[in-house]
Amino acid sequence: MLDLRLYLVTDTGMTRRHGLDATLRAAVRGGVTVVQLRDHDASDREFVALGRLALAALRGTGVPLILNDRVRLVEEVGAQGAHVGQSDLDPVRAREMLGHTAYLGLSCHTQDQVTAACALPTGTVDYLGLGPVWATSTKADHAAPLGPDGLASLARASTLPAVAIGGVDASRLASVRAPGVAGVAVVSAVCRAEDPALAARELRAGWGASVEVGG
């Protein structure tokens, strides 16, 4: 089961302070429940190496590793799934490549995208990433911010569990809590933190009870 409460998206530059493996170990100690490895600038070879480093850091924790976009590398890395955006691989094709046991997430920014995602064959997508809620510097080409009301509207339209992403930190958790929002996805709030374990612990404590989805 996939626990979406605190979903960490990595940033290779931000994790250099402590190192990717140390950052992930600390974040998981603090309560991170899912890790997505994201590095658009890495070559496939570099990305596989990062993936294996991340997987080693997560081994034995029960926290799954999700690869951003590069569905073709999930098996080589040994990851537990992938996450695709609207301009990435078609989710039906991604599911065909992944098989039925891996997790698959899909980013959505509009009502039409959410409606289309929910109309996909059952079992294609496990969860949605909804955002950005607020403007964020971690993704330069992000869509227009939804704001908390826009997020709530998309979550209401979804039959799939969702995580809120984009500018989320501990001070904004109450603003993104809405029916259908199973958790929050963060990047800099943990990756840039002086103490990633403490940052994750504060986020987990602020979010609260578990919501799990099958994969």
Report which DSSP code applies to 208: -
170 phi/psi in degrees, rounded to 5: -60, -30
The reported pLDDT for the residue numbered 214 is 57
The reported pLDDT for the residue numbered 136 is 79
Residue 130 amino acid letter: L
The reported pLDDT for the residue numbered 139 is 61
> Rounded to whole angstroms, how far apart are CA atoms 201 and 30?
4
Q: What is the pLDDT along the chain (215 residues), one digit of tens a residue?
A: 799 999 999 999 999 999 999 999 999 999 999 999 999 999 999 999 999 999 999 999 999 999 999 999 999 999 999 999 999 999 999 999 999 999 999 999 999 999 999 999 999 999 999 999 998 766 656 678 999 999 999 999 999 999 999 999 999 999 999 999 999 999 999 999 999 999 999 999 999 754 556 55
Residue 148: both structure tokens together: 């908390």
Q: Are 26 and 197 in contact (CB under 8 A)?
A: yes
Which residues fall in the annotated binding site for Mg(2+)? 69, 88
> Rounded to whole angstroms, how far apart are CA atoms 165 and 147?
11
| Annotated catalytic residue within 5, 70, 95, 139 | 139
Q: Are 123 and 100 in contact (CB under 8 A)?
A: yes
In Å, the largest CA–CA distance within the chain is 43
| Annotated catalytic residue within 25, 95, 107, 158 | 107
The reported pLDDT for the residue numbered 208 is 79
* Sign of the torsion formed by the C-alpha atoms of 160, 119, 1 and 84: negative
Question: What share of residues in the chain are helix, strand, coil (percent, to 5)?
Answer: 40, 20, 40
> Rounded to whole angstroms, how far apart are CA atoms 9 and 20?
12
> Rounded to whole angstroms, how far apart are CA atoms 186 and 170?
10
**Residue 139 bears catalytic tag:** yes
Q: Which residues pair with 130 in a beta bridge?
A: 108, 164
The reported pLDDT for the residue numbered 209 is 52
**For residue 137, how many other CB atoms are within 10 A of its CB?**
9
Compute the C-alpha angle 203/1/104, nearest 5°.
85
- HEC letters along 104-157: EEEEECCHHHHHHHHCCCCCCCCEEEECCCCCCCCCCCCCCCCHHHHHHHHHHH
> Rounded to whole angstroms, how far apart are CA atoms 77 and 148?
35
Which residues fall in the annotated binding site? 68-69, 88, 107, 136-139, 167, 187-188
Predicted structure pTM score? 0.94
CATH number for the domain whose boundaries are 2-213: 3.20.20.70
Q: Are 74 and 67 in contact (CB under 8 A)?
A: yes
